[in-house]
Amino acid sequence: MVLLLLFLLASAADGIRKTGTTIAGVVFRDGCVLGADERATEGSLIADPECMKIHEISENVFACGAGTSADAAQLCRHAQLDLVLLRRREEAARGGKARPTTVAAARGVVLKRLRSAPAMECALILGGVDGSGAHLYRIDDGATHAVPLAAMGSGSLAATPVLEAAYRDDLDEESAIAAVRSAVSAGVTFDAMSGGRVNILVIGREGRVTRHTFFVMKNNN
């Protein structure tokens, strides 16, 4: 116990901070799939072995967070509340039900929040489905890019080649789930800081959202 306390004090004094994550996403024919591991670390310690890293922004838009898990969760929660406020204002102005949230609008709200709080240490893979189809974005350092697939976090070096090898333009849902599962599993297997189960979220047309959880065999778990 004494050694553990000394280690934590030394890490804080030296400004040492390490985070570990593997997140991934891919677009398929009728939607998009997001996936993430569960391990949250603080330095070389496992702070939370069952951290949920996939966050709801609206009923049709979700995001995976890499970096500081608390920052990612807070960012997504604030963006979610901003969108609720915008919808209520629109309903008051229109005198009726607001239009469904577009993925582009959700991305804009997230970016605005991220740029207003530069101290936040997180990056996102944001995905969703709206009237114009399925969309996936990388959001990092205040910049955003529309992409068909993405992997981020400390396990992305292992996850990215697996995801790229499995990707094709006409992926069906089952193949997309398998691709994201394999990519995140590769991160969990080869990145010491990633770990736990693989959480998968599928966003389909007409507001359909399904979740899956898979176990990964890892020698050092």
Residue positions annotated with a catalytic role: 21
* Amino acid identity at 28: F
- How far apart CA 4 and CA 14 sit, in angstroms, is 15
**What six digits make up the tokens of 198?**
């693989």
Tokens of 122: 């997180």
Give the other-Cβ count within 10 Å of 18's Cβ: 12
Dihedral pair phi/psi, residue 182, rounded to 5° = -65, -40
Per the CB < 8 A criterion, the answer to whether 125 and 34 are in contact is: yes
